[in-house]
Chain A
């Protein structure tokens, strides 16, 4: 045994089957969202109806897991009703916490449902102790999901200065370092990641493999990348694209590379830094992904808590482009 505090393992679910897979694989909490723009993962064919959410809450409750509802996009002017309705449905379903990003939504929850536990979404982009304290004071936020721009040392410093719990991403997609503020999809497709909840909407994505098996990926009118035959591919997002520019002879990743976050080796450091909850990204991924990743992290956390060196399962085959990084958590090395 050791002096580490047991962290909560927070896992993604894009469908009811994924929710059950996450719970069965050892999730302490599962997060999900509705099939509309209130949800920052508002992808086609994904997410929960109110009835599915209720069934999910029951299943999670029976197995001792919590259910967290992400209402984490930003309502455009005049469209607040949809967000209000989502909050009301979530509270009436009995979700354990609502994850919000918008101050108006946070205020609505706090005013209408004063007992409802609130978490601050990564989409809020609260990266300083001052900003987090403001949310805590104004909306009684109980937990903040930190943006993926901080080192472990910075997380520790923030932890010492805020009155709420910290949730940190440990695995999954890692995108442009401007969470809640990225407008690249909006620029290219006219659909807003932050207000419509969709990054690179599938309806505007086109894949084309030529006779030499080179794969071209397009979003709207823009070519995002061209992968040679046999080369690992990435998501069709602008921030992970490879571009031709005037000052380079070869196409290059101008923003970010196709790569996934994997902090398995930093788990003890994160736990010592005061991280209460470890978050796995991937509501758009399959139940096979959920089962594998949640199972691997469940085992790693249990090993650490028992004082055993964690046996880290190989997760590289589930990462974007078959590449993984510790991102900013291991130290900032931005270009």
Chain B
């Protein structure tokens, strides 16, 4: 079954919202520890492809950003410090200490990072939630927005063919959601 067919299959049984929140249920039993080295590799791949990515962060590069994909069973804690680049998946219930929180569905966050959606518009429509150090968030947003090409593709590339197929399926689900 192709990724696009998988997307069609999911939507033939579930509403958009149910489909959107399906990953939260399906992935919750999965332990996070195997994810950690993978995430670190993904971040490294993005930074290597875009070496100037964190210049726009200035003094905010040591801040702890909580990236909260609300339809996933975990949050990501990002410290975009080139000297100590860190990304870690954490259970939401652990409520990790952070300076700023950016929340939205996984695909909205992905599409914003990829330059397909406008962060201000998502904020106006309440699809994006920002809390904590607003200046740090704005700097991170501007840094990510200055990237060209697809960060999602870079990340999926780390996972090889399964990553590409997953991304295609996720994008298919996103199309249904629009």
Q: B125 contacts A232, CB within 8 Å?
A: yes
Q: Known: A17-B145, A289-B118. Is A44-B131 also a contact (CB below 8 A)? A: no
Partner of A15, one of B121, B138, B146: B146
**Interface residues of B: mostly helix, strand, loop or mixed?**
helix
Partner of A201, one of B60, B116, B135, B145: B135
Q: A45 contacts B115, CB within 8 Å?
A: no
B69-84 contact mask (Cβ, 8 Å, vs A): 1 or 0: 0000000000000000
A207-234 contact mask (Cβ, 8 Å, vs B): 1 or 0: 1110001010000000000010011111
* Range for the number of chain B residues in contact with chain A: 20 to 34
Contacts of B58 in A (CB 8 A): 44-45
Q: A289 contacts B120, CB within 8 Å?
A: yes
Q: A285 contacts B120, CB within 8 Å?
A: yes
**Chain B CB within 8 A of A46 CB:** yes
Q: A288 contacts B138, CB within 8 Å?
A: no
Partner of B139, one of A45, A208, A318: A45
**Chain B CB within 8 A of A322 CB:** yes
Contacts of B125 in A (CB 8 A): 232-233, 317, 322
Q: Known: A203-B134, A208-B131. Is A15-B124 also a contact (CB below 8 A)? A: no
A-side residues, CB < 8 A to B, are 14-18, 20-21, 43-46, 201-203, 205-209, 213, 215, 227, 230-235, 258, 284-289, 291-292, 317-322
Excluding A203-B135, A205-B134, A287-B145, 4 further A-B contacts by CB distance (< 8 Å) are A45-B57, A233-B124, A235-B120, A258-B124
Q: Known: A45-B143, A232-B125. Is A207-B118 also a contact (CB below 8 A)? A: no
Q: List 19 A-B contacts (CB under 8 A).
A: A17-B145, A44-B138, A45-B56, A45-B57, A45-B140, A45-B143, A205-B135, A209-B129, A209-B131, A213-B126, A233-B125, A285-B118, A285-B120, A287-B145, A288-B115, A288-B118, A289-B121, A319-B121, A321-B124
Q: A45 contacts B118, CB within 8 Å?
A: no
**Distance in Å: Cβ of A58 to nearest Cβ of chain B:** 16
Residue with the highest number of chain A CB atoms closer than 10 Å, among B123, B146, B148: B146
**Chain A CB within 8 A of B152 CB:** no
Within 8 A of A (CB), among B65-106: none
B138's nearest neighbour on chain A, judged by CB, is: A202
B34-55 contact mask (Cβ, 8 Å, vs A): 1 or 0: 0000000000000000000000
Q: A322 contacts B124, CB within 8 Å?
A: yes
CA distance A18 to B147 in the complex (A): 9
Q: Known: A45-B58, A45-B138, A209-B129. Is A17-B117 also a contact (CB below 8 A)? A: no
Q: A17 contacts B120, CB within 8 Å?
A: no
Q: B126 contacts A230, CB within 8 Å?
A: yes
**Distance in Å: Cβ of B136 to nearest Cβ of chain A:** 8
Contacts of A18 in B (CB 8 A): 145-146
**Distance in Å: Cβ of A283 to nearest Cβ of chain B:** 11
Contacts of B170 in A (CB 8 A): none
CA distance A46 to B137 in the complex (A): 12
Q: A317 contacts B146, CB within 8 Å?
A: no
